[in-house]
Amino acid sequence: MIAVHNVHERRFAAPDVQVGALIDALASPDDRLWPSRWPAMRLDRPLQLGAVGGHGPIHYRVDTYEPGRRVHFTLRAPQGFDGFHGFEIESTAALQGTTLRHILHMNARGPAVLTWPIVFGPLHDALVEDCLDAAARALGEIPRSKPWSLWVRMLRRGFRLLARGRGAGGERRDDLKRGARKAR
C-alpha cells in the first residue's frame, strides 16, 4: 500500500462566488472547469450528494457537496484506489482573491501500487493542471499552461489506441468481428 496526498492549487483575483460557480457547474452543459481535451466528467444526475459517475476509467460518487465551496468524490474504481478527490475554494479577507484547490487523498493497494505512480499519477497531475488553466480562462485570467511531459503524451496516445480497439461496449474489435463471423 502507498499513501497518496496530492494537492494542486491556484490563486485567482476573482471573488469566491465566481470561482465557486465553476465547481457548481461540474459535469453540466455549462462546465467551464473540466478541460475538453480529457475524457468528460459525467454524473448520473446534476451535481449533488449521491450522484455517481466518473471520467475515463476513474469512477466515483459525490459524498460531500457544499454549493459554491467544495465537492468531494469517493473513488470507486479502478480497483485499489481507496479514498477521495475533490475541488474546494478558500477565500480570506487578508489575501485578495480566491484559491481553487484540487485534493486527492487515497491509499493505493494491489495493482494500484504500480498503476498510480506509473500511469494514473502523471495523467492526474496533467489533467488537474489543465483544470486550473480552464478556470483561469473562464475567469478572464491568463493560464499558466505547461506542455505535457513526453510520458503523459505517450500514455494518452496509448489510451486512445486502446479505445480504438474496443467497441462502444468495451468489447475488443477483433472479438466483435469473430462474433459476426460466427453469426453467419
pLDDT digits (tens, 9 = 90+) for 62-85: 999 999 999 999 999 999 999 999
pLDDT at 38 over 70: yes
pTM, full prediction: 0.87
The alpha-helical segments, DSSP class H, found in 16-167 are: 16-24, 112-115, 121-138, 150-164
Confidence of residue 164 (pLDDT cuts 50, 70, 90): confident
pLDDT at residue number 116:
97
DSSP helix, strand, coil percent of the chain (3-state; round to 5): 35, 30, 35
Cell of 163: 479505445
At residue 21, the pLDDT reads 98
Rounded-to-integer distance, Cα 2 and Cα 174, Å:
37
pLDDT tens, position by position, 82-117: 999 999 999 876 678 999 999 999 999 999 999 999
CATH of domain 2-146: 3.30.530.20
What local confidence, expressed as pLDDT, does residue 93 receive?
Answer: 67
Give the C-alpha separation, 29 to 23, whole Å: 13
- Please give the DSSP secondary-structure letter assigned to residue 49: T
Residue 75: closest CA among 55, 50, 58: 58
Q: Which three cell numbers stand for residue 43?
A: 454524473
Closest CA to 73 of 42, 99, 96, 33: 42
**Cβ atoms 123, 104 nearer than 8 A:** no
Between 55-59, 151-155, 163-167, the lowest mean confidence (pLDDT) is in 163-167
